[in-house]
Structure formats: C-alpha cells, structure tokens
Amino acid sequence: MTLLVILGVVVLIGLWAMGVYNKYVGLDNENQVAFSNIGTFLQKRLDLIPNLVETVKGYAKHESETLQNVVDARSRMLKLDLNDVKNLEEIRKMENELTKTLKSIMALSESYPELKANVNFLELQKSLTDIENQIEGARRFYNATVGTLNTFIRRFPNVLLSGLLKFRNAEFFKEDAEAKSAPKVSF
C-alpha cells in the first residue's frame, strides 16, 4: 500500500515537472521569436540607412562627420547576429548609438530647407519613422514575453525546478535615456 502511495506521488511529481518544463519551453520559444522580430526590424532600418546617407550627402556637404558616424554605427551593428538573444547587451548598446546618430541626421534637415523639401528624403524619413515604430512595438512585445517568462520561472512551485533544469531568466530590452533625448546640433 505504501509503495503504491509513493509510486503515485512520484508519478504526480513527474507529471507536474513535465508540465512545468513544457510550459517553460513554449514561453522561452515565444521570447526568442519576439527577440528575432526586433532583429528583423533593426535589419530593415540598417537597409534604409545607405539611401538616407546618400540623399543627405548631396545637400549637407559640410556634415561629413555626422554622416560618417551613421555609416560607422551601421557597420558595427551589421557585424552582430541581430536574431541571437545572447547578443542582447551588445545589440542594445549599438541600437542606442545608431538611434542617436540617426536623430542627428534628421536634425540636419532643419538647417537645410532644400533637404527638407526633397521628396526622396521625405519618403526615407517616413519609412524610418515607420520602422522606428515597428521596432518600438517589437521591443514592447519582447519585454512582455520577458515578463511572462520570468514570472513563470520565479513562481512557486516552479522555482523549485528552475534551478535544477537551468531555466534562463530573460533580460528586458531597455532603451538608454540618452538615445531617447533629442540631439544637440550646432552650426
């Protein structure tokens, strides 16, 4: 009789552990897909930058340093695997740097009215704004999956298995405060 009770408890614990593990796998996969979506939108933005730089170059000949900063930031970001969550910290750092340099280019249009009126520049500016909004939406969704995953891992009794099965806590994708602020441009 006691053997059956012990066997029953072991089976219940095994079923519970299997359920927790399967739920974790699903949440972890959703989190990785969400991160990959950020990488997709970052790549779209990187693909837009050469056209933007070429358009601005024709009007803002004296702004070669600003343009070079954007090209350099893009080159550094292209070296990263944007779909690998293991690169989160480096991607976050490079993404913030690129955002700052792109804001500097957009600020140039205020000093060059003919650039501001250029149809190509306006289309690129709109495309960039759309992509920035998509990046922000993807970042919010990713952070939501991080919250769901981390809450699942830390909840009792799941926390009893999380260390044993080496569940990973995901990191939030935080934007640096400096990247959010408007660029300072002086002429």
Instruction: Flag whether 142 is in a domain.
Output: yes
Query: How far apart are the C-alpha atoms of 112 and 27, rounded to whole Å?
Result: 49
CATH value at residue 90: 1.20.1440.20
Q: What is the pLDDT of residue 183?
A: 42
Query: How far apart are the C-alpha atoms of 138 and 147, rounded to whole Å?
Result: 14
Number of domains in the chain: 1
Instruction: Flag whether 2 is in a domain.
Output: no
Instruction: Flag whether 11 is in a domain.
Output: no
Give the pLDDT confidence of 124-140 residue by residue, as tens digits. Answer: 888 998 999 999 999 99
Instruction: Flag whether 55 is in a domain.
Output: yes
Instruction: Flag whether 165 is in a domain.
Output: yes
Angle, CA of 174, 175 and 179, to the nearest 5°: 165
Q: What is the pLDDT of residue 186?
A: 39
Give the pLDDT confidence of 45-88 residue by residue, as tens digits. Answer: 999 989 888 888 777 766 778 788 888 888 888 888 888 888 88
State which residues form the domain around 139: 26-172
Mean pLDDT of the chain: 85
Instruction: Flag whether 16 is in a domain.
Output: no
Asked whether 108 and 56 are in contact (CB, 8 A), the reply is: yes
Instruction: Flag whether 120 is in a domain.
Output: yes
Q: What is the pLDDT of residue 184?
A: 44
Instruction: Flag whether 185 is in a domain.
Output: no
Least confident residue range of 45-49, 104-108, 170-174, 179-183: 179-183
User: What is the value of pTM for the model shown?
Assistant: 0.77
